[in-house]
Structure 1
Amino acid sequence: MSSSLSDKNALVLELGARYVRCGVSGERSPRCVERWQVGDMLQKPLSSSEWRQYLYPKLHALCFKLLLVNPSRRRFVVCEDLLLPRVFRETLLNILFDVLNASAVTLVPSMVAVLYATANHTALVVDCGWMETRLLPVFKGVPLPYLYETVPAGSRNCCKVIQRELNSSRDQPMDSSEIVTPATEAMAEDILERACFAQQKDPLPNVVDAEFHAQDNDVLQVPGNLRTDAVEQLILGDEGTEGTSIVDGIVQVLKKAPLDVRAAMLENLLLVGGTAMIPGLAQRVAAEVRETLRHDNEFASASTAVDRAQLVQAYFPRNMLAWVVLLECIRPSSTRLQEVQF
C-alpha cells in the first residue's frame, strides 16, 4: 500500500493573491493557472466558515475539473505566503485532509523557496504581487521575519491608472449613437502585461502609441505616455500607493537591518512575482535604490557600498521561480504535515 502511494505524483499548488497555479510534480510546467479573489478577501478578517465556503469549491474544481485527478491519498505541495492568516491556513489544511483526503501536505514558504532557484542563500527578496509588495531579507538561508515589510504597491494600482485614463479619454460623445465600451479591470491587466514597461534613468524620448484589440473587436488606443506612466507609481509612489513605493520599502528594510547584514542585502536584490515581469522594472528599481541611498545621510558616507547595489541573476522567469522549486519538492525549508499530526 505504501509503495503505491509513493508512486503517485504529488499535486502542486502555488497560491498567489490574484492567481493560483496548479499542476503535478514531475511535469515541466503548471497544468493550469486559475484566477481567484484571495488577495481582495484578505483585506478584511474572515471566519473559518467564510474561508471554507470560498476555498472548497475552488480546490474541488482545481482537482477534478482542471487537473482531472482524484486527490484522495495523494500528497499535496503548497507554496504559500509566510504570513498568511492562521484561520486561512487552518481552513486550507482542513479541506485538504478531511475533504480531499490528502495523505500529506508539504507547506513551502514562497519567499524563502525562490532562493533555491537562484543558487543563492542570501538576498533581499522583493515579491511584487497584485495587491502589494512584500519584502523579506534572507541571510545565509535564514529568513529574518522581524525585518519583514509590506508596501501597498502592486499591479492593481497600475491597472487602476490604465482603466481611469482610458475611460476618461473615451467618454461617450453626446451626439454619437455608437456605444463606447468602458475599459474593464481585465482589459487594463492585459494592457499592463502586453504594452507597458518601466522607463530607465535615461528615458526613451518618444514612446509610440499602441493599439490594443479587445475581445469585442473594439480597438483601444493606448497613449505612449500611459505605457510608462502606469508603472511609475510602483517606483516613485503616489496617492494610489499611499505615497510609498517599492524603492522606499527596500530602503526602509536596509535601514532596519544590522550592519553586517545590510551590505549583503544591498548586493543581492531579488525581485520576484508577476509584477516583477514588467519589462525594465527590476533594473529601474535597482537604479533608483542607488540614487536614493546616495542622497541619504545614513548612507552618504558609504558611497562605495551604495554603488554595489545589484540584482540577483534570475535563471528562470521571475514569476516562475517558486514553481521551479516546487517541482523538486525541496524539504529543508518546508513543513510536512501528516494527517495524524494535523
Structure 2
Amino acid sequence: MPLHQPLTAVVLDIGQAYTKVGIAGEPAPRAIVPTVLKIHGHQDEPLLADIFETPKIDKKLLIRKLKTFFEYLYFKFLQVNPKNRRVIVCESFANPTVFRESIAEVLLIHFSAPSILFAPHHLLTSYTVAADTALVLDSSEYESVALPIIEGTPILWAWRSAPLAGRAIHRQIQTFIRAGGLMQTQDGNPVKITEDLPHSVIQDIRVKSCFVTEHGRAREIQAHKLAQWEAALKREKGVEAQISARRPTPPPDMVYPMGGQGRLMIPGLVREEAAEILFEQDNDRLSLPTLVLDSILKCPVDSRKALASNLVLSGGTSMLPGFSHRLLSELEDLVAIEERYKPLSECRFRIHSTPVRGNIVSWLGASIYASLDTFPHRSITKEYFIENKHRLPDWCVLDLQPPEFQPEKPAAMKSGRKSLPYLGSSGLRTSSRSSVGSVPRNSAAVSALAALRLAQAAKK
C-alpha cells in the first residue's frame, strides 16, 4: 500500500431546498442542510431566492452569500482544508452562468481550491444505476426537468421543464387549509384558520402527511371534480343539477401539533389531493407524465425504447409515497389513449430503483464519478480562472469538451461519446484503474464498481 494517497474531492450538491455536502468515496453525504443563510439574530435567508424570483442577479451580493454559506459547510460539517481538495459541483445545466461564475470565484479565489468541476446532475444520476442511456426526471423544489442521456451524453435539445414540483404542492396545501382548515386550541374548541401558515410548517406537512394516490382513485377524483364544475355552471344558469359522479372515501384525517399553540386538523382530502396537481393536465396539456413523453419524442427513434425502459427519478418531490407507481401508470395510460403519443406505443416503461434516496442520487453519482479520476482536463484551475478574467469557458458551462480535445473530423467521435466514463454493456471503462484503489473499501463507489465487474464477468 502506498504511504501517500491523494486526497479525494469535495462534492457539493446545491439544491433548491437542501444542500448535500461530503467527500467523494464515502457512502453518503456528511451533511444535508437547508439551502439558507443562518445569520445570528436574524431570520434564515434563502440562498437561491435571487436566482429564481428576481429577473436580475446582483453578483456581488450573491458572492457574499456564497462565501458565508461555504464557510458554514467547510468548517462545520466537512472540517477539511479547502486548499488541499478539488471540488465537484453538481448543478443543473439550466443554471444561470453568473451563478456558476460566482461559485467558481468563491471556491477558487477565496478558498483557494486546487480546481473545480461543474457536472450536470442529470448525467451523474445515471451513473448510480450504471446506465449509459436513460431519461432522468428531476422533480425538486421549484421545477421538474426531464433530460435524456444517450450514450453518456446529455441531449440538451430534448429537455423539458415545468413548474410542477414541491412549491406547487406547497401552494395546494396552503389553499386547502385556508379554505377549510381548523385549529384545535388548548381548550378544545376548533377555530378556523384565517392566516397563512409558515413555510416550514407547510413543508413539514407535505413530507409527513401527503402522498400520491393510485391511478384508479385519481380517475374517480377527477371525474368528481368535473361533475362538480358542470353542476355549478348549471346552477348559475338557474337549472337544478346534481353531482353525478361520487368521490371515493377520503383517507383518515391527521392531527398536526403546532408547538404548544394547538393542533392543526389536516383533512384526508388534503393529504390525497395536494399532489394531484403534478399529474393533472393544465390548459396547455402539461403534466409530469407528458413532460417525460414529450422529451422522449424529441429524441432519435432508435433510442426511444432504451430511454423508456430506463427512467430514473431524482429530487425531493419524487420521494413522495406512491410517486413512481403513479407516474408509471400515467405513462402507460397516456400512450394507450392519446393520439400524439402513438409513436411510443411499442415502448415498455420501467423506472429504475436507485440505491439511495431521491434527494441524494446525484450526490452519489458525483462521488462515483470523482473516484474514477478521468476528468483532469475538464476541471477549472485558479490560474485559468484568473487569466480569463473570472469567466468560465463555454465548454465548461455547456458540458462540452475543450477545443484541444475536439476531433478534427466529426466521424472520429463515435456515437457522440465524450471522454467521460462509458457505462455500456461491456462494463465500466475508465482511463485509470489505479485511482479506484484510493477509495475506502466500504464506500458506495467501490460497491458500484464491484457490481459492474460481476455483471461483466457473468455476461462473458
Please say if residues 18 and 38 of structure 1, whose CA atoms lie closer than 8 Å, have aligned partners that are also in contact.
no
- Tell me which of 346, 363, 369 is aligned to 1:323: 363
Aligned CA RMSD, in angstroms, stands at 2.8
Please say if residues 23 and 67 of structure 1, whose CA atoms lie closer than 8 Å, have aligned partners that are also in contact.
yes
| 3-state SS in 2 of match to 1:17 | coil
Paired AA for residue 252 in structure 1: D
Sort the Cα spacing of 1:105 and 1:209 in 2 relative to 1 into closer, same or farther, 3 A.
same
Cα offset, 1:336, TM superposition: 1.9
Residue 104 (structure 1) aligns with: 115
Residue 19 (structure 1) aligns with: 18
* 1:170-249 aligned within 5 A: 170=181, 182-203=196-217, 205-216=249-260, 218-238=262-282, 244-249=286-291
Cα offset, 1:316, TM superposition: 2.2
| 3-state SS in 1 of match to 2:312 | strand
Sort the Cα spacing of 1:126 and 1:172 in 2 relative to 1 into closer, same or farther, 3 A.
closer
- Tell me which of 372, 380, 384 is aligned to 1:341: 384
Please say if residues 137 and 311 of structure 2, whose CA atoms lie closer than 8 Å, have aligned partners that are also in contact.
yes
Cα deviation, 1:180-234, whole Å, max 9, x if unaligned, reads 6852221111111111111111338441111222334532221111111110001
Sort the Cα spacing of 1:67 and 1:214 in 2 relative to 1 into closer, same or farther, 3 A.
farther
The 1-side partners of 2:191 and 2:318 are apart by 38
- Tell me which of 269, 273, 277 is aligned to 2:315: 273
More deviation in 105-114 or 69-78? 69-78
Paired AA for residue 160 in structure 1: R
Answering whether residue 297 of structure 2 is matched by residue 255 of structure 1, we say yes
Sort the Cα spacing of 1:150 and 1:333 in 2 relative to 1 into closer, same or farther, 3 A.
farther
Cα offset, 1:38, TM superposition: 4.7
The 2-side partners of 1:74 and 1:339 are apart by 13
Cα offset, 1:9, TM superposition: 4.1
Sort the Cα spacing of 1:99 and 1:178 in 2 relative to 1 into closer, same or farther, 3 A.
same
Residue 75 (structure 1) aligns with: 86
Cα deviation, 1:4-58, whole Å, max 9, x if unaligned, reads 7x64443221111111111233433222222223553222231422321321211
The 2-side partners of 1:333 and 1:74 are apart by 15
Residue 142 (structure 1) aligns with: 153
The 2-side partners of 1:252 and 1:115 are apart by 20
More deviation in 316-325 or 164-173? 164-173
More deviation in 61-70 or 156-165? 61-70
Residue 117 (structure 1) aligns with: 128
Answering whether residue 334 of structure 2 is matched by residue 292 of structure 1, we say yes
Answering whether residue 164 of structure 2 is matched by residue 153 of structure 1, we say yes
More deviation in 108-117 or 322-331? 322-331
| 3-state SS in 1 of match to 2:359 | coil
Residue 49 (structure 2) aligns with: 40
More deviation in 224-233 or 264-273? 264-273
Unaligned stretches of 5+ residues in structure 2? 36-45, 218-247, 386-460
| 3-state SS in 2 of match to 1:188 | helix
TM-score in terms of structure 1 length: 0.87
| 3-state SS in 2 of match to 1:236 | coil
The 1-side partners of 2:288 and 2:306 are apart by 19
| 3-state SS in 2 of match to 1:124 | strand
Paired AA for residue 51 in structure 2: L
Please say if residues 134 and 307 of structure 2, whose CA atoms lie closer than 8 Å, have aligned partners that are also in contact.
yes
| 3-state SS in 2 of match to 1:121 | coil
Paired AA for residue 201 in structure 1: H
Sort the Cα spacing of 1:131 and 1:340 in 2 relative to 1 into closer, same or farther, 3 A.
same
Please say if residues 181 and 264 of structure 2, whose CA atoms lie closer than 8 Å, have aligned partners that are also in contact.
no
Paired AA for residue 198 in structure 1: V
Please say if residues 9 and 74 of structure 1, whose CA atoms lie closer than 8 Å, have aligned partners that are also in contact.
yes
Sort the Cα spacing of 1:300 and 1:332 in 2 relative to 1 into closer, same or farther, 3 A.
same
Please say if residues 12 and 76 of structure 1, whose CA atoms lie closer than 8 Å, have aligned partners that are also in contact.
yes
Residue 93 (structure 1) aligns with: 104
The 1-side partners of 2:379 and 2:349 are apart by 36
Please say if residues 21 and 32 of structure 1, whose CA atoms lie closer than 8 Å, have aligned partners that are also in contact.
yes
Please say if residues 103 and 339 of structure 1, whose CA atoms lie closer than 8 Å, have aligned partners that are also in contact.
yes
Cα offset, 1:109, TM superposition: 1.4
Identity %: 25
Residue 62 (structure 2) aligns with: 51
More deviation in 24-33 or 271-280? 24-33
Paired AA for residue 270 in structure 1: V
| 3-state SS in 2 of match to 1:340 | helix
The 2-side partners of 1:200 and 1:171 are apart by 27
Cα offset, 1:333, TM superposition: 7.2
Cα deviation, 1:118-139, whole Å, max 9, x if unaligned, reads 1211111110010000111011
The structure with the largest alpha-carbon Rg is 2
The 1-side partners of 2:342 and 2:250 are apart by 34
Residue 282 (structure 1) aligns with: 324
